[in-house]
Structure 1
Amino acid sequence: MSNNNYPRLHNATWPGIVGKGPDSEPVIPFDKMLEFTAAAEVDGVKFDGVDVGLLDPHVHLDGGAEEARKLAGKVGAYGLNIGSLVAPVWGTPAMGSKEERAGFVEVIRKTCEFAKQLEKEGVRSYGVIRIDSASSPESWSADPAGNTRLIAQTFREACDVAADYGEKLAAEGEICWGGMHSWRAMLETLEAVDRPNIGFQADMSHTFLYLLGYNAPQDRILPEDFKWEDREALTEGLKKLTAALRPWTIDFHVAQNDGTVFGSGSHDKTGRHCLATDPNGKLDIAHDAGFWLRDEKGELTKAVKHICWDGCMFPNEIMTQQKTWNDILAALIEVRKLHGWNA
């Protein structure tokens, strides 16, 4: 078991939904995602918990306290914890109409209520609520300054609601979200929110695309003529990226990326999640996680109590093999060996 070591090791459940559905492969049921997570084991170490997307058909947010108790029972039966929660804000864009923005804040209120019920049930004691702008980079680019102000205003209102519940909101750094699609745009949005309970969710795959300037060539960090064999330049790029966003980071996803974008189903193209063992992966996962988990002096920030693997848009054939989840757990264990601590 994982005993008293930090950070705790979590698996994500929403990859069973994201990129799936009628226009792609079938959704993988929540119970199956939970079973694979609970069954994973490497040298006696198992996952400590799961991060959960409050997304239909896995979880019905409008089910309220009853749905939260049901979820807590399922997860708790496996001896697992629940960490961060993904708020289903899509359809209520943060830079949309007054009604849409009010809808965004209402989703956050419902998510916070759900989170408090999970705490009452004894399955959640750490983690954040993940948000994004629910808006495309194309729509944002019509008025960058004005739309960033709208997103910040919506996020501020959401933060104020979350603060009443003792929750923190983490904005996901992903190239498919307007106002969050580059490292510089993300930083400007976070600074504009100006609330103590807003932070950044760093996903090693999604943030990797910030280096290459997808959807924002002007914010590219690596040189245009960069070659993948130039590890020194890649290291310097990662240092610049993390120096800007590490101070904001309150949620962390371990992941691999091969330097390309990918989308499936209705999901826009974003940083491709690769298997931990992918020979085309450009990251040294355990080593490069340290750019996010340690400060410029090399000291552990201890800003997160758990780390999570997010493997969205893997084919179902891959996701329904137990070996996949054992390999992922092994990667998380290696991250903790280099950057963990004992309670």
Structure 2
Amino acid sequence: MERNNYPRLHNAAWPGVVGKGAPDSEPIIGLDTLLELTAGAEHEGQKFDGIDLWLADPHISIDSSQDDIKRVSDHIASYGLTVGSFVAPIWGGAGGGSAMGDDAEVARFLSQVEKACRIGRWMRDIGIRPSGGVRIDSSVGVGPWDADPEGNTRRIAETFRAAGKIAQDHGEFLVAEGEICWGGMHSWRENVKLLEMVGMPGVVGYQADMAHSMLFVLGANAEKDRLLPADFDWSDKAALDAAYKKVADALRPWTMDFHVAQNDGTTFGSGDHEKTGRHCQIDDPNGRLDVTKHAGYWLRDSSGNLTKKMRHICWDGCMFPNAVMERQDTWNKVLGAMVAVRDAHGWRE
């Protein structure tokens, strides 16, 4: 019997950049190194199909010309890989601004979204990008948001709505990745509230990362939305399953992009990245998730039927040490986990 071939399996380029490059952190890992490791990974004859990209220097400049994008697309294709979702550099330190900031900040945020959507359209026209959205967040911490939760969420929603119209004009869609470090997106309830307020289903949706979303059950930065007690006994698998399913059930209708990941129930930050849900290696003995089973909470509906909404899924391993990321065996194991998810929750075309 032939194995499932959908959703396609992608690696991510941004773990080579996120939490790296600052004076007190490890150096950035170049795109070519990540392409080589991704293309070199193999598990039971299976390979990665593609890679999701970081649209910022030193990988791919958000200000790239159409000729630049043609060259980098040809380069990625030479590794036998396609392209999926993007991370748009919407943060202030990368040329953007807060989604709840003043008009100038919001204008910079929207400009970065427009540039990313333009690159997305170019790559679709080239034929290297058959699926994927443009990832955004609120680009502001929980502290500033907490000064006026209602007003600030409305402002973020206005910005996301304007960004969604830009995406529509380019034939793109946006995926907002909720993490405990992003104001207005730091709990499962706040994410649902924000997306409902934006009101653009199918255009502005959610990017579910298994590690980040798992922290929502602990109420990190959002005590009122905690689903498990502070002294939770992790051996109680049924309670974890119920809490995690509640989060997934609330956010699944909005989910348009999905990251397979592992988490040990703690937070972690590196370089200039705020603390958020820790990404663990797939075989970490302290990992709290049953990755294959819990991936099904996102890839199947509440009745257990496949949603088939995601044409590709991606691995996210942000803030792993470079010594881990630069070992081929790391990516062979990751690919093995991705194949297991696809075997359990995929389909064949």
Which TM-score applies when normalising by structure 2?
0.96
- In the alignment, structure 2 segments of 5+ residues that lack a partner are none
- Indicate whether 1:106 and 2:107 are aligned: no
- Indicate whether 1:295 and 2:296 are aligned: no
Once the two structures are superposed, the pairs formed by residues 145-294 of structure 1 within 5 Å of their partners are: 145-196=150-201, 197-294=203-300
Contact 1:89 1:107 in 2 (8 A): yes
Give the % identical residues: 55
- Using the alignment, how far apart are the partners of 1:41 and 1:218 within structure 2? 44
Report the Cα offset of residue 55 of structure 1.
Answer: 1.6
Matched with 1:96 is 101
- In the alignment, structure 1 segments of 5+ residues that lack a partner are none
Aligned amino acid, residue 78 of structure 2:
A
Matched with 1:22 is 22
Contact 1:61 1:67 in 2 (8 A): no
Matched with 1:124 is 129
Report the Cα offset of residue 68 of structure 1.
Answer: 1.3
- Using the alignment, how far apart are the partners of 1:44 and 1:252 within structure 2? 24
- Indicate whether 1:68 and 2:69 are aligned: yes
Aligned amino acid, residue 42 of structure 1:
H
Aligned amino acid, residue 191 of structure 2:
M
Which TM-score applies when normalising by structure 1?
0.98
Report the Cα offset of residue 53 of structure 1.
Answer: 1.1
Contact 1:221 1:237 in 2 (8 A): yes
- Using the alignment, how far apart are the partners of 2:22 and 2:87 within structure 1? 22
Matched with 1:82 is 83
Worse overlay, 218-227 or 265-274? 218-227
Report the Cα offset of residue 224 of structure 1.
Answer: 3.4
Aligned length: 342
Report the Cα offset of residue 4 of structure 1.
Answer: 6.9
| TM-align CA RMSD | 1.1
Which residue, 330, 333, 336 being the options, matches 1:324? 330
3-state secondary structure, aligned to 1:207: helix
Aligned amino acid, residue 283 of structure 2:
T
- Using the alignment, how far apart are the partners of 2:89 and 2:185 within structure 1? 17
Report the Cα offset of residue 74 of structure 1.
Answer: 1.4
- Using the alignment, how far apart are the partners of 2:22 and 2:5 within structure 1? 41
1:110-147 alpha-carbon deviations (Å, 9 max, x no partner) = 11111111112211011111100111011100110010
Matched with 1:11 is 11
- Using the alignment, how far apart are the partners of 1:298 and 1:235 within structure 2? 14
Matched with 1:144 is 149
- Using the alignment, how far apart are the partners of 2:329 and 2:162 within structure 1? 43
3-state secondary structure, aligned to 2:64: helix
Contact 2:217 2:247 in 1 (8 A): yes
1:255-288 alpha-carbon deviations (Å, 9 max, x no partner) = 0000000000110000000000100000010011
- Using the alignment, how far apart are the partners of 1:276 and 1:150 within structure 2? 38
Aligned amino acid, residue 47 of structure 1:
F
Contact 1:260 1:272 in 2 (8 A): yes
